[in-house]
Amino acid sequence: MTNFHISFGTEVADALRDGRPVVALESTIVSHGLPRPDNLLVARQIEQAVRDAGAVPATIGMVAGELIVGLDDAQLTRLATVDGVSKLSVRDLAVAAAAGADGATTVAATSAVAAAAGIDVFATGGLGGVHREAAQTFDESADLITLARTPIAVICAGVKSILDVGATLERLETLGVSVVGYRTRRFPGFYLTDAGFDLDWSVESPEQVADVLLARKRQGVHHGGLVVANPLPTDEQLDPALHDRTLAAGLAMLAAEGVTGKAVTPFLLAHFHSATEGASLAVNVRIILRNADLAARVAVAAAARRA
Ligand code: PSU
Ligand code: MN
């Protein structure tokens, strides 16, 4: 596992030392995935959802080149409001640290840092994955390869429907990343309850996820992530017809404006938020809050099994 020079928030450091439940949270959704000013409010709500379910939130990010696990409110505010916060995947962490940069960590970078910090549960919205057109562009999120290497449970609503969901599931299989549905055998598509693909496994409770984590330890699995796919209830998803229209327009704009690389995901998310007049934002927030709650319950159950 990678060794990072990490500064811990005091509450997170205390909780880890005492073996109390901690949930890692990413900062890219705050800096690049949600529009201002909602992003800061939502970032605080996510932390509160973790607390309400009995765990300590550890939002991860970089401030002035310092990698922080458990950003305080001033640091969170800075990453949510200052211009020029970089989007940091794993490969960017050292370069950004040396540059003294402010940066928001993606699922990949957050997973790697969290695991190095001794945190085994992480809540986010949706994973990155294989982009449409990847056969030509080779655009596959580093989230996938990082999860192949990193022992962490990621609670998410599957992968965004802006991606090639089927190809992403195939890559997760190849990379040896475990995928279980939470109370479902259908893989969710972030905004959509069901992205159209079956899953081999499902779990019914936070305790069952903790059982999987314990079984992995007993089998000596020290690499490789566990994706817990937690779908929105159908009555809370984005209207599928609105979703399909918005996605088609967004993909056409990508091509017309020549947007590529790491700008693709923030561009499409921003397009959804404006084109649906906030409907996708409301859905996005519900997804994250539900995942934060479930992740905290998993962390509580996992801590009980350690005790
Ligand atoms: N899911 C969201 N909002 C986001 C992201 C995912 O609902 O902002 C971010 C995550 O940080 C994820 C990143 O790691 O997008 C993937 O970006 P890319 O496709 O460039 O790897
Ligand atoms: Mn990419």
pTM above 0.90, yes or no: yes
DSSP annotation of 138 reads -
The backbone region for 118, taken as left when phi is positive above 0, alpha when psi lies in -120 to 50, beta otherwise, is left
Three-state secondary-structure class, residue 167: helix
Residues 6+ apart with CB under 8 A from 179: 169, 172, 173, 187, 199, 200, 201, 226, 227, 229
- The answer to whether 241 is a known ligand-binding residue is no
Residue 91 neighbours by CB under 8 Å, 6+ apart:
142
Q: What is the pLDDT of residues 88-137, one digit of tens each?
A: 999 999 999 999 999 999 999 999 999 999 999 999 999 999 999 899 99
pLDDT for 2 equals 57
CA distance 227 to 180: 6
> Which residues in the chain show pLDDT less than 50?
1
Which residue reads 């972030």 in tokens? 190
Q: Which helix (H) or strand (E) holds 7?
A: strand 6-8
Of 131, 143, 129, 104, whose CA–CA distance to 225 is shortest? Answer: 143
Q: What is the ipTM of this complex?
A: 0.95
3-class state of residue 135 by DSSP: helix
Per DSSP, the three-state class of 178 is: strand
Nearest residue (CA) to ligand 1, atom 1: 126
Side-chain-side CA neighbours of residue 162 (13 Å): 25
Going from the Cα of 238 to the center of ligand 1, the distance in angstroms, rounded, reads 18
Q: What's residue 149's pLDDT? A: 96
Ligand 1 atom 10 nearest Cα: 106
Which residues carry out catalysis?
Answer: 26, 160
How far away, in angstroms, is 129 Cα from ligand 2 center?
Answer: 8
